[in-house]
Amino acid sequence: MVVVMKKGAAEGDIQHVIDFIHQFGLKTHLSKGRERTIIGVIGEKSKLEKDQISVLRGVSKVYNILQPFKLVSREFQSENSVIQVNDVAIGGGTPVIFAGPCSVENERQILDTAWMVKEFGAKILRGGAFKPRTSPYSFQGLGLEGLKLLKKAREETGLSIVTEVMDPADVELISEYADILQVGSRSMQNFNLLKAVGRTRKPVLLKRGMSATLTELLMSAEYIMSEGNPNIILCERGIRTFVEYSRNTLDLNIVPAVQKISHLPIIVDPSHGTGRSDLVAPLSLAAIAVGADGLMVEVHPKPELALSDANQSLNAEQFGELMRKVIQLIGWRKMHAESHVTV
């Protein structure tokens, strides 16, 4: 930590700050500039919070100079984490496609979609059984019945399954059916849920909250990892801004920014990140080009009959056309732009 004192801070106030820091077993380093005095804090920062010093008399600003996350950082582990899901490796250089309907609605719908997305090259089937919905009057998902249908889709197609878990009490149940546990945007800071999925060894897909900073996203991953589960896949899915023509603003800046400071893989969800089916294809290609480790795309055999997210789902024809381009672009990327991030 670096403590900047106010212009003309009294000697007594400076000494009080130093004494206060020493109480916590930390050392200080004093530097008097022309206008300001600066106090460096040396030692383990976890003993003392920035705010505790900010309130002392004569203090102008306090800066944390160390990152607050450890296990998820590149400093802790320099090589990329590769998350193995059955026979698929996420973070290993080849982007992986997650696709499927917003919600599991019935056997016909989920099986048809599963076969279709598999045919076009997806490796992971997404589908919601427990659905977080803004309105209590909207379709809330099929629950356990939905999990069973997902299991059936896996048995028939061989695709791995990702589905959302909303409640720590459901982690055990859902772990029996899913290959990847999804922690949704609205749950990114549900810390009990993070701890619960952290106590399993299942891969976790952690979606960025609607107004989460990069630090907050990584701190939520740190919760999972500090419980012992290193199998974390991050997911950018759009942030909330003032913008009027898309449901969210897809923030692709975060992909290389995460890759620089963390070893965890990060995929992109252009369906939620745009909220418009006509924008999904161009933003999918952009996500591949920017270096994402995968895509998560909402697909529905008949979007106009979807019980949720109809507006952002692709139909079979649209998804097929997108996948042809995506697969080619992945090939191009592997040849020409393997790693554009300099760590």
Site for a copy of itself in 278-297 (CB under 8 A): 278-279, 281-283, 285-291
Closest to a copy of itself by CB, 16 or 118: 16
Q: Are 202 and 180 in contact (CB under 8 A)?
A: yes
Closest to a copy of itself by CB, 96 or 258: 258
* Long-range residue pairs from 165-169, CB within 8 A, at least 24 positions apart, any chain: 165/130, 165/193, 165/197, 166/130, 166/132, 166/193, 167/130, 167/193, 168/192, 168/193, 168/195, 168/196
Ordered DSSP codes for 123-177: -EEE-BSS---SSTTS----THHHHHHHHHHHHHH--EEEEE--SGGGHHHHHHH
Q: What tokens appear for 124 in the block?
A: 């992971």
Which residues, including other chains, have CB under 8 Å from residue 36's CB and lie 6 or more apart? 4, 5, 6, 7, 60
**Minimal distance, residue 271 CB to a copy of itself, in Å:** 12
Closest to a copy of itself by CB, 153 or 250: 250
Closest to a copy of itself by CB, 154 or 209: 209
Closest to a copy of itself by CB, 85 or 196: 196
DSSP state of 80: P
User: How many chain residues interact with a copy of itself (CB under 8 A)?
Assistant: 112
- Please report whether residue 133 would count as binding a copy of itself according to CB under 8 A: yes
Q: Are 99 and 117 in contact (CB under 8 A)?
A: yes
**Cα–Cα distance list, 339 to 1, 90, 241 (Å):** 33, 15, 30
Closest to a copy of itself by CB, 133 or 152: 133
- Residue of the chain from 115, 143, 167, 316 that contacts a copy of itself (CB under 8 A): 167
R_g over Cα of the chain: 23
**Minimal distance, residue 156 CB to a copy of itself, in Å:** 28
Closest to a copy of itself by CB, 193 or 205: 193
Q: Is 91 left (phi over 0), alpha (psi -120 to 50) or beta?
A: left
- Residue of the chain from 192, 201, 228, 334 that contacts a copy of itself (CB under 8 A): 192
**Minimal distance, residue 307 CB to a copy of itself, in Å:** 8
**Minimal distance, residue 119 CB to a copy of itself, in Å:** 20
- Fill in the per-residue mask, 55 to 74: x = in contact with a copy of itself (CB under 8 A), - = not in contact: xx---xx-x-xx-xx-----
Distance CA(274)–CA(173), nearest Å, equals: 32
- Please report whether residue 10 would count as binding a copy of itself according to CB under 8 A: no
- Residue of the chain from 12, 25, 29, 156 that contacts a copy of itself (CB under 8 A): 29
Question: Sign of the CA dihedral 225, 226, 227, 228?
Answer: positive
**Minimal distance, residue 262 CB to a copy of itself, in Å:** 12
- Please report whether residue 311 would count as binding a copy of itself according to CB under 8 A: yes
Distance CA(271)–CA(117), nearest Å, equals: 15
Report residue 63: phi and psi, to 5°: -110, 135
- Please report whether residue 317 would count as binding a copy of itself according to CB under 8 A: no
* Parallel/antiparallel/unpaired status of strands 59-63 and 2-5: antiparallel
Stretch of 81-89, 151-159, 172-180, 275-283 lying at the interface with a copy of itself (CB under 8 A) = 275-283
- Residue of the chain from 187, 231, 262, 271 that contacts a copy of itself (CB under 8 A): 187
- Residue of the chain from 13, 143, 246, 301 that contacts a copy of itself (CB under 8 A): 246
- Please report whether residue 172 would count as binding a copy of itself according to CB under 8 A: no
- Please report whether residue 105 would count as binding a copy of itself according to CB under 8 A: no
Smallest Cα–Cα separation from 237: which of 287, 198, 189?
287
Stretch of 50-58, 78-86, 155-163, 174-182 lying at the interface with a copy of itself (CB under 8 A) = 50-58
- Fill in the per-residue mask, 84 to 103: x = in contact with a copy of itself (CB under 8 A), - = not in contact: --------------------
